[in-house]
Structure 1
Amino acid sequence: MTKIDTFIFDLGGVLIDWNPEYVFLDAFNGDRKKMQWFFDNICTSDWNENQDAGYPLAQGTLDLIKKFPEHKTYIEKFYGEWENMLGGSIEGTVKILNKLVNSNQYKIVALTNWSNETFPIAQKHFEFLKWFEGIVVSGDEKTRKPFKDIYDITLNRFSIKPENAIFIDDNIRNIEAANNLGINGVHFKTPELLIQQLKTYHIHL
């Protein structure tokens, strides 16, 4: 088996608990059905990912209000109250990251789909973001996972050989894209499972 010398971490859903429900469940008075309809039809994941790829938040908000003026108040909440969607760190994964960093055996970077306008807010909240050798932010690169470009940027910027790297992400779509490029993708579900998954690469924490 090829020796693993690099870890590439996703951030949201792996190390950082980010969830629009923290804002919108209250906005919809606890009505999960209405909230889900809003996410499925108005502030969709595709719409949000467009901003993650560098489209201006203000313009993205205006575009959506033009399409759905009757939902203006709720649309404005998405980025207007974005900071309240940050629920804290996923402590179990932060401990794993800490062990990997302190082992001094690996190059450790992050690759995240994140607006370059909101990422500085996360940097103020989470001290562990300073532990990475570098972080590739989709909003800065004007592309995002699962597109090949952003993986190539990450591999080239940090001189990473795909076969020597483990990429950890909670989105199976992003894992499949990494696997297609020869990167060892690990689909994150829980910190406890991640510890077990890493054992298959002879990494014991």
Structure 2
Amino acid sequence: MLRIRKLRFAYSQTQFQINIAKLDIAGGETLALIGPSGSGKTTLLNLLAGILKPDSGTIFMGEQCISAMHSAQARRYRLQQVGMVFQGFELLPYLSVLDNILLTARLLGGFAINEELRHRADKLAMSLGIADKLRRPVNELSQGERQRVAICRALLLQPPIILADEPTGNLDPRNKHLALEKIIDETKANNSALLTVTHDHSLLGQFDRVVDLDDFICAEES
């Protein structure tokens, strides 16, 4: 599904850099990405989403070379094939919860917001405990509720890739396990690939594989 080869990326004017010789993520696989703050976890998600371009190396999703896409292609790729849960949620505060969940479908253009899609949005909201808030604007919600809206939006179109940046960081213990269970269930059901950044090591046992970015750094230095 996702293939990284000889990936290098650095921010100018800083010592920060990412070096990954090889990393593969299969369809249906759930991968947790760990490492200290500043090690490049969020940056790696942005590279996989085509938001950032590597300095060298390649990123493939199936036969598509993400790292070679121009900006319009990358935007289309994100809308069609990537479900993203951002740390900052990236919700539109003046829209209702339901409209925020349906937003990606609307942005794609020509995507029918039919009863089937609305029903799926309802089911996702119910599974994450926010079904009673669908008509409310998101600026009236708590941080934890907004996080669950962002998860629903990422899962709505059953994308082949799910990239989640601390998707349970604002949730209480009960809801964080509920939310992660839902994300993983959807990943398996749709044979998607899931890459999740987390600092919560109590969740790591729920993933198929754990990757520590420090291991890549050590490998490069050895």
Taking structure 2 as the reference length, what is the TM-score of the superposition?
Answer: 0.27
From the two aligned structures, give the one with the greater helix fraction: 1
From the two aligned structures, give the one with the greater strand fraction: 2
